[in-house]
């Protein structure tokens, strides 16, 4: 055969990464399934930035499981709520709003 499994996998990963980057077109494109680069400006145009595309791609490729993402979001929402109520409530008390 001549090729090891590791070489084949590295080649496939490299090809997938190159295809992904070529679709992004140096910041000009999008991986969103509804993206149309020829669409005229207006409310129907899908807007997305690179971090959004990376997260979307990670969820689609199952690198980030949606359940893990939702669980982390819930935990962070509880944390932010506690900070807002704790520190924010104390600050409101100091400035006389509460």
Range of the domain at 42: 5-95
Number of domains the chain is built from: 1
34 phi and psi angles, rounded to 5 deg:
-95, 5
Q: What pTM value is reported for the model?
A: 0.42
Radius of gyration of the chain (CA): 22
HSE, CB side, 13 Å, CA atoms: give it for residue 57: 16
Q: Determine the pLDDT at residue 65.
A: 82
Q: Determine the pLDDT at residue 93.
A: 92
What is the tens place of the pLDDT at every residue in 38-95?
Answer: 767 666 665 566 677 777 778 778 887 888 889 999 999 999 999 999 999 999 999 9
């Amino acid at each position: 055969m001549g090729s090891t499994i590791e070489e084949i996998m590295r080649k496939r990963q490299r090809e997938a990464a190159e295809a992904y980057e070529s679709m992004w077109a140096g910041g000009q494109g999008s991986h969103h399934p509804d993206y149309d680069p020829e669409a005229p400006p207006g409310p129907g145009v899908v807007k997305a930035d690179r971090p959004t595309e990376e997260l979307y791609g990670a969820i689609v490729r199952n690198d980030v499981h949606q359940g893990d993402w939702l669980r982390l979001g819930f935990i962070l929402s509880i944390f932010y709520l506690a900070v807002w109520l704790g520190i924010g409530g104390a600050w409101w008390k100091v400035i006389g709003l509460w």
